[in-house]
Amino acid sequence: MAFDLGSVLVQAFSPFNLLLALLGVVLGTIIGALPGLSATMAIAVLVPFTFAMDPASGLIMLGAIYTGAIYGGAYAAILVNTPGTPSAIATTFDGFPMAKRGDGDLAMTLATLASVVGGVIGAIALMTLSPLLANIALAFQSSEYFWLAILGLTLIASLSTGNVIKGLIGGAFGLILSMIGVAVVGGDVRFTFGSSALLGGIDIVSALIGLYCIPVLIDLVARPDRHLEPAPLGRGFRFFEALGLCAKNTVNLVRSSAIGTLIGILPGAGGSIASLVSYSEARRSSRHPERFGKGEPGGLLATESANNATVGGGFIPTLVLGIPGTPPDAVILGALLVQGIRTGPELFTQQSGIVYIFMFGLLIATLMMLPVGLLIGRYAYRFIVNTPKSLLVPLIAFMTVVGSFAIHSNPHDVVVMVLMGVLGWLLSLGGFGPSPIVLGLVLGQIAEQGFIRAYMIGGARDNFGGQLLFDRPISWAIVALIVITLGLPLLRLLRARSGNGKEAQP
């Protein structure tokens, strides 16, 4: 059954649905901006309300909440140096330095514009290329997921600390933290030291909040100076300045959005790796790579466009294959099933009308992010700048405690959050950043599952090497990227040394 574009547009653009999309974006942005309160939680809480609505309206609202919450994650990353989700880790690299030097207003506007561009490109890809791109997700098997996780770790090691060895050490430590609890394959209880509270492992969001927020709090109370430099009055949104920067970074924006869409298709690993790959690519192709990590707008544009593009990309396997790529996708998949929509290859022929209304709703919500984000972002920045430390410290501390408790309503998660925070602070004294540890924790289970499955399949075929690497062209390509990622810093170091040596020669 072909869908009628006219009726789809009439339904998607009805005043009620536009209002729901606006409400969804506002709620999603606010919830996503609070550390610990995730897109999954926002969608899960609001799903029951959508059951009373007609399917199209309900799905438009859920899509709007999701896209708003992913964008909202940039607020905490830019203003408090705390990524709300793993996909916003790279946003802290340049977003927070910009805010710290007084360009927080520009950073917020850039993040909004980049999120809109990324979200629109992801939504268009979802509408036009879904069945084709779903094949990419199917081409990835266990060994590719293993190598992809290793690629993510090598990227973060080379990006986040400027010291690849320390980054790799942090990543390996994160992998070890991910092994705590019941083993994903084999079912052994590992590294719990007899504590039943550790059976379920270390929650990623608790660890993320602790590793990023506690060191921020410790630094906040240590010095009387301002947390962020205030922006001079009368600069407004700095919209046209941001637009100019976007125009200069057009290739960067489009490339990062395409990377976000493509990697976002891969279930589980998508969001966090996509923003790192796009950031790495933006730095590699920049004329001023040395500015990255110090408040370079190009870095912020790359990560924010990529992580919002993963929203559209993530829906591709959800809708075409019925495989949710992320926890919010899984909740929306559940809502689709309750509304009587069966996902799978026939979805685009048998129930195309409702699916395209949902996709157009996602597009509308993404566009609504521009006015909503500019407005909320401006006031969020002013609020954080003008709030005295004596109120900012209890505010952030309270959000970390309730945020980590809210994940599973489990006090144990709060203890884990605080302990991880103390550990993260101590390790930061030795120059070990939190990003590789968090990413190791995020990607640990994906890497282990991929590795063990490849081992088992390879063992059954008596060809482990072939299954893991040699017979798999995609694995070869990812391994080549890993070698380049690790080799480039070494090459730069050798070049710098030989340059110094030549200069020193008489």
Partner 1 sequence: MNAGRDIAGIVGSVFFFLVGAAVFAMSFEMTPLAAMFPRTVGAALALLAAFYVFAAMRGYRGEAVENGSTVGDQAEGLGRRIVLLATMIGWALLFPVIGMFVTSLAACAILMFTGLFERLSPGRLAIQLGAVLALVICFYLLMNSVLNIPMPRGILF
Within positions 320 to 359, which residues make up the interface with partner 1, using CB under 8 A?
none
- Residues 93-122 binding partner 1 (CB under 8 A) are 93, 96-97
CA distances from 151 to 44, 155, 354, 388 (A): 32, 6, 38, 41
* Binding test (CB under 8 A) with partner 1, winner from 29, 451, 458, 485: 451
Asked whether position 457 contacts partner 1 by CB under 8 A, the answer is no
Asked whether position 398 contacts partner 1 by CB under 8 A, the answer is yes
CB of 335 to partner 1, least distance (A): 18
Asked whether position 306 contacts partner 1 by CB under 8 A, the answer is no
Asked whether position 501 contacts partner 1 by CB under 8 A, the answer is no
Asked whether position 469 contacts partner 1 by CB under 8 A, the answer is no
Nearer to partner 1, 244 or 459 (CB): 459
Site track 241-280 with partner 1 (rule: CB under 8 A), x = hit: ----------------------------------------
Torsion of CA 337, 269, 80, 241, to 10 degrees: -90
SS3 category, 324: coil
Contacts of 62 (CB under 8 A, 6+ apart): 24, 43, 46, 47, 50, 331, 332, 335
Asked whether position 6 contacts partner 1 by CB under 8 A, the answer is no
Q: What are residue 182's DSSP bridge partners?
A: 189
Asked whether position 401 contacts partner 1 by CB under 8 A, the answer is yes
Site track 412-431 with partner 1 (rule: CB under 8 A), x = hit: --xx-xx--xx--x-xxxxx
Place of tokens 């610990």: 36
Side-chain-facing half-sphere of 167: CA atoms under 13 Å: 20
Place of tokens 């007899």: 194
CB of 387 to partner 1, least distance (A): 9
Nearer to partner 1, 141 or 192 (CB): 192
| Among 173-181, 308-316, 347-355, 475-483, the segment contacting partner 1 (CB under 8 A) | 173-181
| Cβ proximity of 50 and 59 under 8 Å | yes
| Among 13-21, 112-120, 312-320, 450-458, the segment contacting partner 1 (CB under 8 A) | 450-458
CB of 452 to partner 1, least distance (A): 6
> What backbone phi and psi angles, to 5 degrees, belong to 190?
-120, 135
Asked whether position 172 contacts partner 1 by CB under 8 A, the answer is yes
| Among 91-99, 114-122, 233-241, 252-260, the segment contacting partner 1 (CB under 8 A) | 91-99
C-alpha angle 67/353/56, rounded to 5°?
A: 50
Q: How far apart are CA 496 and CA 501, in angstroms?
A: 9
* Binding test (CB under 8 A) with partner 1, winner from 55, 63, 68, 215: 215
- The amino acid sitting at 258 is A
CB of 250 to partner 1, least distance (A): 26
Residue 430 burial (CB < 10 Å; 0-12/13-18/19+)?
Answer: exposed
Nearer to partner 1, 83 or 312 (CB): 83
Site track 69-88 with partner 1 (rule: CB under 8 A), x = hit: ------------x-------
SS3 category, 230: coil
Asked whether position 388 contacts partner 1 by CB under 8 A, the answer is yes
Dihedral (CA of 330, 67, 409, 415) sign: positive
Asked whether position 282 contacts partner 1 by CB under 8 A, the answer is no
Contacts of 61 (CB under 8 A, 6+ apart): 20, 21, 23, 24, 46, 50, 53
CB of 148 to partner 1, least distance (A): 16
Nearer to partner 1, 364 or 437 (CB): 437
Asked whether position 504 contacts partner 1 by CB under 8 A, the answer is no
Asked whether position 397 contacts partner 1 by CB under 8 A, the answer is yes
Asked whether position 67 contacts partner 1 by CB under 8 A, the answer is no
* Binding test (CB under 8 A) with partner 1, winner from 5, 185, 199, 460: 185
SS (H, E, C) 339-371: CCCCCCCCHHHHCHHHHHHHHHHHHHHHHHHHH
CB of 397 to partner 1, least distance (A): 5
Q: What is the widest separation between alpha-carbon atoms in the chain? A: 82
DSSP 87-146: GGHHHHHHHHHHIIIIIHHHHHHHHHHHHHHHHHHHHHHHHHHHHHHHHHHHH--HHHHH
Nearer to partner 1, 184 or 484 (CB): 184
Nearer to partner 1, 122 or 436 (CB): 436
Q: How far apart are CA 23 and CA 122, in angstroms?
A: 21
* Binding test (CB under 8 A) with partner 1, winner from 1, 223, 232, 340: 223
Asked whether position 433 contacts partner 1 by CB under 8 A, the answer is yes
Asked whether position 186 contacts partner 1 by CB under 8 A, the answer is yes
CB of 257 to partner 1, least distance (A): 25
Q: How far apart are CA 84 and CA 35, in angstroms?
A: 5
Asked whether position 179 contacts partner 1 by CB under 8 A, the answer is yes
Asked whether position 488 contacts partner 1 by CB under 8 A, the answer is no
Q: How far is CA 439 from the centre of its chain?
A: 11
